Chain A
Amino acid sequence: MLAEIGLISTLFAFIAALYAIVASVYGERFAHSHALVTSGRNAVYLNFVLMTVATLSLQIALMTQQYQISYVWSVSSPSMPDFFRFTALWGSQAGSILFWSFLMSAFTAGATFLNWKSQRRLMPYAIAYMMAVVAFFIGVTLFIENPFDRWWILPTGDVVASAFIPAGAVAPSAAQLAQTANGLNPLLRHFGMAIHPPMLYLGFVGFVIPFAFAMAALASGDLSTNWIKVSRRWALIAWVFLSLGLILGGRWAYDVLGWGGYWGWDPVENAAFLPWLIGTAYLHSVMIQEKRGMLKTWNMFLVIGTFSAVIFATFATRSGLVDSVHSFARSEIGFPMFAFWFILTLVSVWLIVWRSSRGELKDDHQLKSLFSREALFVLNNFVFIALFVAIFWGSFGAPIISELFMNTSITLGADYFLQVTPPLFILLFILMGIAPVSAWGAASLARMGRAVLIPLALTAASIGLFVVGGVTEIGALFGYGIVLFAGWVAVVETVRGIRARQHVHRENPLTSVIALYTRNPRRYGGYFIHLGITIIGLGVIGSTVFQQETQQTLAVGESLSLGIYEMRYDGFLANQIAEDGRVMDIAELTLFRDGVEVAHLRPRRDFFPEATDMNSMTIAGAHSTVENDFYVILVNWEQISASSATFKVYINPLINLVWWGGLILIIGTMLAGYPRETMPVRVREKLHAVPQGA
């Protein structure tokens, strides 16, 4: 029954999406009928309701173990806990596409509801674009990756998955299906995987909204800043989710993939990073259009670029375009997705060229000084694009071109990325330091020099502390210096703002801080984000340059030493059965620091007897401190007695800064996106009365 409800709801949602496109465009462009456009809007809401029903159907089927549905059979099993049964919704291709469609539908309904009155001219076209994306993904769900297919036994004895009952077929018995159910891919049975994919999807679908409004502006001819006002906040929401998705993905890799790192420059990781890079460039350059009426065409290209990168990332993950640790999501949807991406990008670029050729995207001002804020933002955008090019080339360009034209297959790994990207990241951090102290319009080098004196002095003092602390590697000190400079600029500028308020209004520090963030959330939220990026940068440098590792085989009672730690192998627990049916082999270790016992670690190898492929997982043992992580992986052990075992051990200095920096980045984004309009009128009026320079 749930399969039928899900399938019918999805089918009607598809029809509603197509109707919304036709009604909106025809009603606005040709029939000039408000009723028709309104009916298109209502179809958007109906689509959301139907997609909610469809998604809930599959979710309930998973929770109630309806194994006749082939998707439920392939991603869950009777021994799985409810938590993973819940997350199995996005545990494989068909479910994740349905979930993607549902989220996109929800975002579309939200964007329509919030902007219907204020953006009357843009809405019909924005709805058409948003619904085109929704319709495409629902179409994929219905015609290629249907999660509501059920198992049937044909008269010939063959078992097939089909949405409808084949002639003469009967359903297999529930008991038989439960017995043979696959269970979720072991790599996905991790808390990080419960949140990482939804966050990435929210980031991806969120970027469709700015794209739709940009295209609506081009289609309708309303090329004022209206589309930017609407889309900026959606872009910020998408950006924060995408950032969170990337950070959680890194944490998942660190905990589950068992190689002691969090970013492997894997093509699919990189594919998710690409929209983040262009999206970040857009969030910076959109400020120039708002403040100075510049970069109108460029911003359009960035919005299209971000959307294209989103679709490309989805395509790359699911098409098997290149080898990746994410290959579990491969399927046959590669070509339709590529065609969809290509057509939509082509139409979008044509719209830009058309409007631009009519002179409708002319900038209001020119770049006057190389040191003006807008010039530095342009440079910042260029560096983001350069990073995009370098990472895209390494992940997809070179492997594909070498295979197509040079008859050989190459994989560009960390080696390539660590040669090509560092100069660009250095430039980016330098710009992150100097752009906030530059002025709009015209600015001089002398003025900028004066503004960075204090941050530079603080950076020099910090580097001095690093040297005193024992860091002597020149490259690392240089890296720390560049990163810290950007961070100190953010701190000093914030402190300047607080002191200015205190001076003018005689406020206490706390009131000044609150007023600063509520009065100019974008600016000071932005500094907070820069601070988060700085902390991530420190963590990346520390954990990359100063990582120590060793691999040794120990007999029970023996120890190994690495850095300040000593690790003793105490014993082995073999074949421990967990509640979800996994078989665990656990090594028991004691960790000492300077001779003092600090932790008991239990690295283990999990084996999933019911899983058909990728049936084992390495779970590291880790002891985390502010200073570093002691991270140990069970590599191998003597099979019968476990009297000896081999361990791979890492010390990852400052690695926790990566996660903490991520948290600060999220808080900063929430501050930057805080809507001033929601403040009480009395407060807003009071704040407006404060002079701008304060």
Chain B
Amino acid sequence: MRHLMKSFQVLIALIVVVLIAQTVVAQDGTTGAVTDDMVNAIAAKLYCPVCENITLDTCGTAACADWRYEVRLQLEQGMTEEQIIEDFVRRFGDRVVGTPLDPALRALSLVTPWLIIAGVLIVTAYVITRRNAATAAQAAAPETGSTGNRYQDMFEQDISGS
């Protein structure tokens, strides 16, 4: 049992050493493991805060080059993709992401078009059903005062001024 405990302590110590070493190396910025592709993968999900609707990975301005470098530094510091994106949103607002992170804005963005589409569908269905019903009723019982000829009816309507 003592042997097992000793082994466990050694293992914990090793883990702590590795973690500390990793943190030191990361703070030193000498990992060298962050590639352009890793930076671009995140930059492609961010929009340039000052340019016109251009993602950060493709924007050619010096400001965007600086922001890409910032993403690189943040990756080197061990920040995750979500953390980096949240950091940009915190600093520049929801306009730097393709779909807002803020729950209210996100709902507004993603749900509203479907609500409008559903509304259009309901109105269309209602209009079609009502028209069909009206046409069927008209066919069953011609309107009083109607000549039975639609164009003649319209003519009568025109000259009566109604």
Contact = CB atoms under 8 A, between A and B. Distances in A.
Contacts of A549: 37, 40
Interface centre among A367, A412, A648 (most CB of B within 10 A): A412
A237 B138 CA distance: 40
A389 B120 contact: yes
Contacts of A394: 109, 113
A168 interface: no
A324 B52 CA distance: 5
A323 B94 contact: no
B52 A416 contact: no
Interface stretch (A117-125, A145-153, A244-252, A358-366): A358-366
Contacts of B154: 358-360
A358 B157 contact: yes
Given A413-B53, A553-B36, A618 B60 contact: yes
Interface in B82-126: 93-100, 102, 104-105, 108-110, 112-114, 116-117, 120-121, 124
Interface in B48-69: 51-55, 57-58, 60
B95 A415 contact: no
Nearest to A552: B36
A410 B53 contact: no
A462 interface: no
A409 B55 contact: no
Contact of B116 (A267, A366, A367, A389): A389
A338 interface: no
A448 interface: no
Nearest to B41: A549
Contacts of A258: 58, 60
Nearest to A550: B37
A583 interface: no
Interface stretch (B8-16, B25-33, B73-81, B127-135): B127-135
Contact of A414 (B98, B102, B150): B98
A386 B112 CA distance: 12
A646 B99 contact: no
B43 to A, nearest CB: 10
Given A359-B150, A410-B94, A393 B113 contact: yes
A272 to B, nearest CB: 15
Given A258-B58, A550-B37, A367 B132 contact: yes
A390 interface: yes
B128 to A, nearest CB: 7
A413 B47 contact: yes
B32 to A, nearest CB: 13
A465 interface: no
Given A397-B112, A616-B60, A412 B117 contact: no
A406 interface: yes
B99 A551 contact: no
Contacts of B117: 386, 389-390
A419 B99 contact: yes
B47 A411 contact: yes
B37 A398 contact: no
B124 A411 contact: no
Contacts of A398: 108-109, 112
Interface in A550-591: 550-553
A18 B70 CA distance: 59
Nearest to A423: B114
Contacts of B109: 394, 398, 410, 412, 416
Interface in A408-461: 408-416, 419-420
A385 B118 CA distance: 11
B37 A412 contact: no
B95 A401 contact: no
A325 B110 contact: no
A179 interface: no
B66 to A, nearest CB: 13
Contact of B99 (A408, A412, A618): A412
A382 B108 contact: no
B120 A382 contact: yes
A443 to B, nearest CB: 17
A250 to B, nearest CB: 16
Given A358-B154, A382-B121, A389-B120, A267 B100 contact: no
Interface in A648-681: 648
A493 interface: no
Contact of A408 (B60, B97, B105): B105
A4 interface: no
A319 interface: no
Contacts of A116: none
B99 A401 contact: no
A204 to B, nearest CB: 22
Contacts of B112: 393, 397-398
Instruction: Give the interface centre of A323, A552, A553 by most chain B CB atoms within 10 Å.
Output: A323
B10 to A, nearest CB: 41
Contacts of A267: 53
Given A324-B52, A413-B55, A386 B47 contact: no
Shortest Cβ-Cβ A-B pairs, 5 listed: A415-B98, A413-B98, A551-B36, A259-B58, A323-B52
Given A325-B54, A386-B120, 9 more contacts: A264-B53, A323-B53, A325-B53, A363-B131, A366-B132, A385-B120, A409-B93, A416-B110, A616-B60
